Amino acid sequence: MAEHKQKRQTPTRRDEETGVETDDAPATSESGEKLKAELDDLLDEIDEVLE
Q: What is the pLDDT of residue 47?
A: 96
Asked if residue 45 has pLDDT above 60, the reply is: yes
Distance of alpha carbon 34 from alpha carbon 13, whole angstroms: 23
Q: What does the buried/exposed string (b/e) look like for 10-43 if buried means 16 or more CB atoms within 10 Å of the residue's CB?
A: eeeeeeeeeeeeeeeeeeeeeeeeeeeeeeeeee
User: Domains of the chain: which residue ranges?
Assistant: 25-51
pLDDT tens figures, 2-39: 555 666 555 555 556 666 565 556 667 888 999 999 99
pLDDT computed for residue 18 by the predictor = 61
Q: What share of residues in the chain are helix, strand, coil (percent, to 5)?
A: 50, 10, 35
Q: How is residue 20 annotated by DSSP?
A: -
Whether residue 40 is predicted with pLDDT greater than 70 in this model: the reply is yes
